[in-house]
Structure 1
Amino acid sequence: MNDHSTRTDYNHFLPLQTRWADNDIYGHVNNVAYYGYFDTIVNEYLIGAGALDIHNGEVIGLVVETGCKYFSALEFPQKLEGALHVAHIGNSSVRYELAIFKTGDDAPAAEGHFVHVYVDRETRRPVNLPDAFRTALGKLVSN
């Protein structure tokens, strides 16, 4: 039994590259860098799908929960692939599940999740997910 996902569990992939600044004093990618990768994967998808306008959109996502499990170390320089699927879509919230793979590997180096609550940009109050979000996110729902 695996204690992690595999590539086949994900619907969207994004090539990534470790950066010099990602390494810590111990010679591997520091845990905080993974959350930057996760944020990049989610936002790249939403922007590319036409759901998120980071400059002028009325709706923004706020992170209310995160988690990450680490399986193997990464370091600079290394080519990676970020992976994404959507585990749950609520009225105003979404649970994104993500993984970071060394390019070509089937088992992730790390996997994690983000829960975003989507709010009005001005009031910061939760709003129902706009149709563009529901359409884009529906393409990534896990079966």
Structure 2
Amino acid sequence: MSYRELKDRKRKDYPYILESDNDMYDHMNNSIYNFLYDSVVNTYLIEECARHPPTSPQYGLVVHSHSDFFGSIAFPAVADLGLRVNKLGKSSVTYEVALFERGVEGVKSVGELIHVFVDRESGRPAANGMDNSLKEGLQKLFITKSKL
């Protein structure tokens, strides 16, 4: 199938159409929360830590993730995401991501992701730890207990 043929498709070309909003329970599905958590982390790494996912000598592997949900967000609300670093190791980082509904102060969910940064060539944890641009960028988000 050519690009042009795909671009010219119409609704009538599909015998089954499913209407969908956030999800059938009138709230954003939890898989979307996880997608958003991953998106905010990677956007920060690209914009603030000089990461280029396909070519950077080091990249992060998610070795742990979880979410705690405190409230729903539903269309047409806008989701805002907060990001912080709670632990910064030699080759690993623990992120905390908060999802807020725009205009609402209280958090709707909090997620945690742990990245282990590996060397692209070996696929093993970075022997000398994270490179300087990565560590410096993550340090800006590091929240110590004394900052609480």
Query: Would the aligned equivalents of 2:86 and 2:95 in 1 still touch at CA under 8 Å?
Result: yes
> Per-residue deviation at 1:21?
6.5
Measured at CA, do residues 124 and 75 of structure 1 come closer, stay the same or move farther in structure 2, by a change above 3 Å?
same
Deviations for 1:27-82, whole angstroms, at most 9, x for unmatched residues? 21111111111111111111111431112111110000111111111122221210
State how many pairs are aligned. 124
Higher-Rg member (1/2): 2
Structure 1: segments with no counterpart, 5+ residues = 1-19
The structure in which a higher percent of residues are strand is: 1
Measured at CA, do residues 95 and 21 of structure 1 come closer, stay the same or move farther in structure 2, by a change above 3 Å?
farther
> Per-residue deviation at 1:22?
7.0
Task: Give 1:33's aligned residue.
Answer: 32
After TM superposition, the structure 1 stretch with the greater mean CA deviation from structure 2, 62-71 or 73-82, is 73-82
What stretches of structure 1 move > 2 A for 4+ residues in a row? none
Query: Would the aligned equivalents of 1:29 and 1:73 in 2 still touch at CA under 8 Å?
Result: yes
Query: Would the aligned equivalents of 1:86 and 1:96 in 2 still touch at CA under 8 Å?
Result: yes
Task: Give 2:50's aligned residue.
Answer: 51
Query: Alignment identity in percent?
Result: 36
Task: Give 1:66's aligned residue.
Answer: 65
Query: Distance between the aligned counterparts of 1:130 and 1:97, measured in 2?
Result: 21
**Relative contact order: is structure 1 or structure 2 higher (C-alpha 8 Å, sep ≥ 6)?**
1
Q: TM-score, normalized by length of structure 1?
A: 0.81
SS at match of 1:135: helix
Query: Would the aligned equivalents of 1:22 and 1:33 in 2 still touch at CA under 8 Å?
Result: no
SS at match of 2:117: strand
Measured at CA, do residues 28 and 46 of structure 1 come closer, stay the same or move farther in structure 2, by a change above 3 Å?
same
Deviations for 1:86-130, whole angstroms, at most 9, x for unmatched residues? 001111100000100001221111011100000112321000111
Task: Give 2:138's aligned residue.
Answer: 137
Structure 2: segments with no counterpart, 5+ residues = 1-18
Measured at CA, do residues 75 and 89 of structure 1 come closer, stay the same or move farther in structure 2, by a change above 3 Å?
same
Counterpart code for 2:69: Y
